[in-house]
Structure 1
Amino acid sequence: MANEQVEPKWVTNGVKDLGFHETGNNLGIDKFIKQAHCGKLGDPWCAIWTNAKLEQSDIPGTRSPSSQSFRKHKNFVKLDKPALGALAVYTRGKPNSGLGHVGFYMGETTTQVLTLGGNESDAVRKQFEPKTRLVGYFWPKSVDLPKGGVIKVKSEDGNPVGSNA
């Protein structure tokens, strides 16, 4: 259960943003760009938001607006199992297209991962992503490794919406 794992500070900071919704085409994310030290208005902003929440928590991010930047960045290590708040990285299109999504692991069903992230249906929300697109779970090297483990959730937990990607 989730209460056995400690919620990382970046998740606590991220939850405070629930309900934020962009305006126009990826606009209104100025605060996150400033916190993340990367990106610009109009960019897809899932990695900008993820970096912003890490940096806001005094954790060095990748300072890249790419969702895939967490996969090989020196500040992050790949986990062998999920953990509350781990960075869940997904691909979109071809595996090496550079396209995808990133957010914080909050739990999973048999086929989907519940992710807290930015630019999920143009907002900060908890949303399910298909496990078939999951590349892996990543953790900041500057933070002690978590105990981790699967957190089972039901599809209605957190009132997430399905991915439209």
Structure 2
Amino acid sequence: MSVLQLQAALLTHGFDPGPLDGALGPRTRAAIRAFQTAAGLQPDGVAGPLTLGALGLATDEPLWLAEARRLEGLTERPGKSSNPAILDWAERLDLNYASDDVPWCGLFVGHCIAAALPDEPLPQGLLSARTWMKFGRVSEPGLGAVLVFWRGSRAGWRGHVGFCVGADVEAFHVLGGNQGDRVCVARLSKGRLLGARWPLSGGEPPSRAVAFTGLAGTPLSRNEA
């Protein structure tokens, strides 16, 4: 289920989400709250399972993952310029972030979570990938879970963070930012996983890991910065 499908369903039910642009912006969240109020649901602006069910939508994918998929293909800009979309994420999160030369995997995850769950507490220092080990609650590495990996060495400070979209015997399939300087899906070795996390306001975390072999055999990602 995509944000665009959510917007279309809201419009069908008589609640204007603004432009049908696939972005989970303020007008779409306001339409969600209005629909929830009319449907006798808690008007929190979060399209959880009850809200989606009332709209006649069913999905296994959380909305933060839909936002991540919408951004797939976005890239850094070479040289001294920066992609304004990446800088806008930082501005919306009130972060001091001057250039997309600074690793932005944590910024990408923070943007997607905040867009879908505006009241979800984000970790302090979210630009540091390993800080995401303090986010939300422990989860299985299921669809949409935030996966945190080490880079360089397990005992070091460098890391990477992204969303789980699949797995094979050897690796997790991670939809993340700053993977080859862009938003894409990459295979990261299971041996590098530090942990999986799930938003506190994201409903029940998955009870089992995902299994998907569509990327099996493609090279492993070695260094995501």
- Normalised TM-score (structure 1): 0.84
* 1:148 Cα deviation from its structure 2 partner: 3.4
User: Corresponding residue for 1:78?
Assistant: 138
Residue equivalent to 2:176: 117
Change (3 A) 1:115 1:153: same
Q: 1:27 aligns with which of 82, 104, 108?
A: 82
Identify the range of structure 1 (83-92 vs 64-73) with the bigger mean alpha-carbon deviation.
64-73
Q: Structure 1 segments of 4 or more deviating over 3 A?
A: none
Higher relative contact order (CA 8 A, sep 6+): 1
Pairs within 5 Å for 1:55-70: 55-57=114-116, 58=118, 59-63=120-124, 64-70=126-132
- Structure 2, unmatched stretches of 5+, are 1-57
* 1:134-145 mapped onto 2 (5 Å cutoff): 134-145=193-204
- Tell me, yes or no, if the aligned pair for 1:50 and 1:103 is still in contact at 8 Å: yes
Question: More deviation in 46-55 or 28-37?
Answer: 28-37
**Residue-by-residue CA offset, 1:104-144 (whole Å, 9 max, x unaligned):** 01110001000111101100011111111101110111222
**Cα separation, partners in 2 of 1:39 and 1:45, compared to 1, 3 Å:** farther
User: For residue 146 of structure 2, what is the aligned residue in structure 1?
Assistant: 87
Establish whether residue 37 from structure 1 lines up as the match of residue 37 from structure 2: no
Task: Give the aligned partner of residue 11 of structure 2.
Answer: none
Equivalent position of 2:209 in the other structure: 150
Alpha-carbon distance, 1:155 to partner: 4.5
Cα distance in structure 1, aligned partners of 2:168 and 2:204:
23
1:8-47 CA distance string (max 9 Å, x none): 1110011110110101269312122224433511310000
The answer for the alignment partner of 1:163 in structure 2 is: 221
Which has the larger share of helix?
Answer: 2
- Secondary structure (helix, strand or coil) at the match of 1:107 reads strand
In 2: Cα distance, 1:146 partner to 1:137 partner:
10
Mark the runs of 5 or more structure 1 residues left unpaired by the alignment: none
Supply the distance in 1 between the matched residues of 2:94 and 2:173 (Cα, whole angstroms): 26
The CA deviation string for residues 54-106 of structure 1, in whole angstroms up to 9 with x for no partner, is 11112332252011111124xx1112x22210000000123232211000011
Identical aligned residues as a percent:
25
Distance 1:119 1:22 in 2: 8
Contact 1:85 1:105 in 2 (8 A): yes
**Which TM-score applies when normalising by structure 2?**
0.63
Select which of 56, 61, 65 maps to 1:7.
Answer: 61
> Based on CA coordinates, which of the two structures has the bigger radius of gyration?
2
Q: CA RMSD in A?
A: 2.4
> How many matched pairs?
158
